[in-house]
Structure 1
């Protein structure tokens, strides 16, 4: 079955109007006839006429065809082929970027499934089919790595499972083998109707130490945030060192192009540039002046601990928000002003909605937290229904999102579904309030720490919710998509060459 993966590009076919207009307005000038005398020719009234005709039909057709093929090419044509259920017993899938380690971990299970007739597919967008027997070229069963995935490629496994849910039948057995690290699972746990068997493992490099961030203190020292991540969790330590201290055995400090850089001695992590900028924390209070008072006190405590060059300021008018603001706290029930937030790197904004009275607690341990000690729980009294599309940062005791992270380009927007007010929760009275804000503010300035997140999840945490009703999108047979773009590219090149030849051909001269 012929289909297009990106049909919005069909609007590109409107470009066919261009060659039509060009050919219709390509009017030829009249011919001049030489006669001996015009004295015998009667005077006639002057008339003019204009004819809109297609003068070069083959060239016109080729140009229209050229634009049409280009629009179809951008629409990503594929041939959707249904597979025979009798020949396909199931799928075995695991990621290309972790191919070697995944196969070696589950080799007996994977080999037995493939021998039983299960097809191998990559656990990557599109789920490309491959043949494991062509990869095992060594008689000693050593694995030769297939075509390597792009560097720093990391897909969200839950997004892939949702895509898989729309591609295969709910009756087809699917065996998934992946790492179990939390960094591969983002957003909300999906609901699927799949015959899913998901097994995970903890990679060998399950512990890592790295530099998360570094900056200059007002006294000229370098404040370093060092992270240590392992399967049970991630911890951070703070330390100060002099920029010219060469005797330090833990860190290496160098200067490159006038910028101070710091790295772990003997570590493989790239050097982190020491931040010299002054951090600006701006609070827009609007009518919630009480909320702003509590928040400002917590931020000042963070500044004192961070020892970072920081300005904390409360404004009453959005026009007073300066450009290049590090953090904007929009404590208003009004929608976030686009003009005010345009040049802000990080934004925390109150979300509007109908508040609901709840009897629960809130935590900043993230959506994968299990058993928490009582001292890490804060009483929650009111909240607003959250949008599940964001990454959960703070949750209530039922697992509902209270603070969600949205990435918008290089900007991070935190949507808060409660308030910094004692009427909503006990956070502002808690000793943990400054610690929560410290964890929130001390995100890396230029370093993505996800490759260093080694926390692992249990099956209860990562397995999607399996619903009993049948797919609405899946059929009784699985199918695979075969890309047809190469054929469209070949056709486009042939048509373009023919168009160029017709456009530059030499017209024949007729002799009198």
Structure 2
């Protein structure tokens, strides 16, 4: 028996209340009937009291009633315990891919179960599996490192064998350090390649630009191509009810609706019209290459129409809140005092002559200088901002760097426009993690062996509630009968 909220046992102090009530018994004086009171002299009035337990059964019922209330509020649960002598250890396999994993490691699993190891799911609660009988697998994105930490807290002191896939999506956070007798084996699942349509949009000439994502154990890549309305050998294009959709041939995924919106790009020049000129040329080249429907406009005042896809804020002043909240992406100059440097910009190894000191420490770094400090960082806020707390720590100006003269400049801008800051959908991720990298840090010491707990806890508070009602009813009936006898 266990209790989820044992603090409520402090309520047992209330047992003193019925005990005091029964001990402090005020006894009324007796009335003596006489014929005449003329010969009786007046005496002082007196009353008597005694500390004596009366109606002991009623006292017991009331104390039991208060005790049951405290137990009910403490949320009692029933935990099964397995005798330590019957189990040598656990075998843990994720429920979502049990069949494939068991088939992959069948000889090892069968050998361990024959030696007395129990088969449990490597999922929340570590539920025991009765057999290796084939059952339907269910999809899940369990964090295996988090489960290992829970396993240590469960009091499992015997050897544990874990068999899992090695997809990177299952290993989140920092690698744990645990005190467990643990052996972990992994494998790459058969379904190790995933393909999907990341995006699709109409171009200026009415064609469709589609971006496909491919995830393999080696990594995730994206590729784009221009399609006509009849599709190609890989893609199927359909138009229904005025909406055009595209899907991968042979895929069970739902078709992706082709985006018909126009990408709107605004450049705020402020005191940097020359910088805006170089940026505009790079944007023209990048959007012409991508073929997506795009409009690019420059503004020398803050009367910028709301709803911009991209806002390039070439100014030392902060972006007004009304413009900031209505722009999907913001690319801004960082504020601060410029300093002369002799370094370069990566990627591209482009000469860097002047920069603003970086203050970023919590944003995703996109471009760096030769010392690894941020030149451009990304903050995945709302709206998504290519500035974080600072921004571009240089300027689009030949006096600051050779970036605007570089052949890589339009390509770097294009990559920003097409950048998908969020990673691929987690269900699509087929990247794997090295077996050495995934192994938790094991701290070896003689850990005492405790009884193994069956996973899951049975809530028994309902039984105590029923018993509470029975005792309450019995107390009321007994109290009524006592009063009837005393009054009668």
TM range (shorter): 0.5 to 0.7
CA contact (8 A) 2:155 2:452 kept: yes
Identify if the C-alpha distance between structure 1 residues 249 and 426 changes in structure 2 by more than 3 Å, giving closer, same or farther: same
1:454 aligns with 2:430: yes
| Counterpart in the other structure of 2:135 | 144
Local SS of the residue matching 1:263: strand
Mapping 1:53-452, distance limit 5 Å: 79=77, 86=84, 89-124=88-123, 126-133=124-131, 136-137=132-133, 143-145=134-136, 148-149=137-138, 153-158=140-145, 160-161=146-147, 163-164=149-150, 167-168=153-154, 173-186=159-172, 188-195=173-180, 196-243=182-229, 245=230, 248-282=232-266, 299-312=283-296, 320=304, 322-323=306-307, 325-327=308-310, 340-346=323-329, 383-384=358-359, 386-387=361-362, 406=380, 416=388, 419-422=391-394, 434-435=410-411, 438-442=414-418, 449-452=425-428
- TM-score, normalisation: structure 2: 0.58
CA distance in 1 between partners of 2:81 and 2:342 (Å) = 52
Q: CA deviation at 1:217?
A: 0.5
Local SS of the residue matching 1:322: coil
What is the number of equivalent residue pairs in this alignment?
A: 393
Local SS of the residue matching 2:150: helix
Whose Rg is larger? 2
CA distance in 1 between partners of 2:80 and 2:170 (Å) = 30
Local SS of the residue matching 2:153: coil
Q: Deviations over 1:42-83 (max 9, x none)?
A: xxxxxxxxxxxxxxxxxxxxxxxxxx99xx89xxx6849697
CA distance in 1 between partners of 2:76 and 2:345 (Å) = 48
Q: CA deviation at 1:132?
A: 4.3
RMSD, matched Cα: 5.8
Identify if the C-alpha distance between structure 1 residues 443 and 421 changes in structure 2 by more than 3 Å, giving closer, same or farther: closer
CA contact (8 A) 1:80 1:481 kept: no
Q: CA deviation at 1:214?
A: 1.2
CA distance in 1 between partners of 2:283 and 2:323 (Å) = 21
Local SS of the residue matching 1:260: strand
CA contact (8 A) 1:392 1:403 kept: yes
Local SS of the residue matching 2:100: helix
Q: CA deviation at 1:96?
A: 2.3
- TM-score, normalisation: structure 1: 0.56
CA contact (8 A) 1:384 1:418 kept: yes
Structure 1 gaps, min length 5: 8-67, 138-142, 364-374, 496-512
Structure 2 gaps, min length 5: 8-68, 470-488
Local SS of the residue matching 1:482: coil
Local SS of the residue matching 2:237: strand
CA distance in 2 between partners of 1:467 and 1:95 (Å) = 21
Q: Pick one of 466, 476, 482 that aligns with 2:456.
A: 482
